[in-house]
């Protein structure tokens, strides 16, 4: 049955999806999109950046409510904890939530009155 499905897909001109593995054999994942449903700041745009294990993996990008932005395929390892931060200079930055990335999917960050969806593929 799988052979028939593969032949059918190739006859449609569709390439099979093959997950790439990282050097340790786990599936390579990438952050591909961020959607802002509600900002944390009441006065203007949020300055969102992403952190894994204390290291900034995406520098600040401004978001207002309703923004839905493609991200330039930022790699993240399965099992790592992703934290969404909002820059608030001169005040302390706001932690909008932390989630363990267990695979491809959409992860919701809703702490401190904000709501963001981070897509991992």
Structural domain including 106 reads 30-120
Tokens, residue 41: 């700041």
> In this predicted model, which residue has the larger pLDDT, 21 or 45?
45
pLDDT tens track for 29-68 = 999 999 999 999 888 899 999 999 999 999 999 999 999 9
- The count of domains in the chain is 1
Please report the pLDDT score of residue 19 as a whole number.
Answer: 39
CB atoms within 10 A of CB 79: 11
Say whether pLDDT at 11 is over 70.
no
In a domain, 37, yes or no: yes
Q: Which of 88, 83, 82 has the alpha carbon at shortest distance from 46?
A: 88
pLDDT tens per residue across span 82-114: 999 999 888 899 999 999 999 999 999 999 999
Identify the CATH number of the domain in which residue 93 sits.
Answer: 2.60.40
In a domain, 48, yes or no: yes
Q: Is residue 101 part of a domain?
A: yes
Note the pTM of the prediction, 2 decimals.
Answer: 0.78
How far is residue 68's CA from residue 64's CA, in Å, rounded to a whole number?
Answer: 9
């Amino acid at each position: 049955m799988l052979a028939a499905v593969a032949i059918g897909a190739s006859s449609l001109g569709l390439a099979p999806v093959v997950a790439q593995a990282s050097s340790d054999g786990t599936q390579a994942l990438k952050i591909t999109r961020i959607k802002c449903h509600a900002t944390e700041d009441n006065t203007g745009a949020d300055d969102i950046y992403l952190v894994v294990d204390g290291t900034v993996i995406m520098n600040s990008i401004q978001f207002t409510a309703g923004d839905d932005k493609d991200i330039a395929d930022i790699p993240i390892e399965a099992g790592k904890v992703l934290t969404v931060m909002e820059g608030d200079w001169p005040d302390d930055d706001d932690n909008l939530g932390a989630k363990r990335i267990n695979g491809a999917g959409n992860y919701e960050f809703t702490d401190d009155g904000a709501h963001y969806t981070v897509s991992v593929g």
